[in-house]
């Protein structure tokens, strides 16, 4: 009569009950991506001239934004299904690449198209990666 209490549960149910703690990689990877992105954004805006305060501010703000978005995506990615997770990675990459291309003083159409092309490529790659490792 009490066999239901002694039945072993699924491993997945027990793993989701515990709160996840931050690992060093969960902070280091978004921070490194933000630093690299910020330096590259400031480098593109510099265009061979001397460094100015505006370029430094642009690099700091854009790097902090990318680091914050990468950190947030890393924290919520396990709760998303593999399709939405791939969309999130594709959208983040498309926006980041589109912004970097827009810093080169090209047309809005070129930065939009290049961002979308790279974003779709990342979406397809991430979807394949997540879908093939679903089980």
pLDDT tens, N- to C-terminus, the chain (135 residues) = 566 555 555 555 555 555 567 888 999 999 999 999 999 999 998 887 888 899 999 999 999 999 999 999 999 998 999 899 999 999 999 999 999 999 998 999 999 999 999 999 999 999 999 999 876
Residue 122 domain-assigned? yes
Residue 116 domain-assigned? yes
The pTM of the full predicted model, rounded to 2 decimals, is 0.80
Kind and range of the H or E element at 31? helix 24-46
**CA 41/CA 25 separation, integer angstroms:** 24
Residue 16 domain-assigned? no
Is the distance from CB of 13 to CB of 22 less than 8 angstroms? no
Residue 72 domain-assigned? no
- 71: nearest Cα among 42, 28, 135, 105: 28
**CA 91/CA 115 separation, integer angstroms:** 9
Provide the domain limits for residue 100.
86-134
Three-state DSSP at 9 gives coil
Q: How many separate domains does the chain show?
A: 1
- 88: nearest Cα among 129, 127, 42: 127
Residue 41 domain-assigned? no
Residue 7 domain-assigned? no
Residue 88 vs residues 16, 20, 78, 114, 129: alpha-carbon distances, Å: 22, 21, 12, 17, 14
């Amino acid at each position: 009569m009490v066999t239901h209490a002694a039945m072993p549960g699924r491993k997945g149910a027990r793993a989701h009950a515990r709160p996840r703690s931050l690992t060093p990689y969960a902070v280091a990877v978004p921070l490194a991506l933000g630093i690299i992105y910020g330096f590259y954004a400031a480098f593109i805006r510099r265009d061979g001239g001397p460094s100015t305060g505006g370029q430094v501010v642009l690099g700091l703000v854009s790097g902090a934004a990318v680091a914050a978005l990468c950190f947030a995506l890393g924290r919520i990615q396990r709760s998303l299904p593999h399709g939405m997770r791939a969309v999130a990675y594709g959208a983040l990459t498309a926006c980041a690449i589109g912004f970097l291309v827009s810093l080169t003083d090209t047309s809005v159409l070129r930065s939009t198209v290049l961002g979308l092309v790279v974003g779709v490529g990342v979406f397809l790659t991430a979807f394949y990666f997540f879908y093939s490792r679903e089980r």
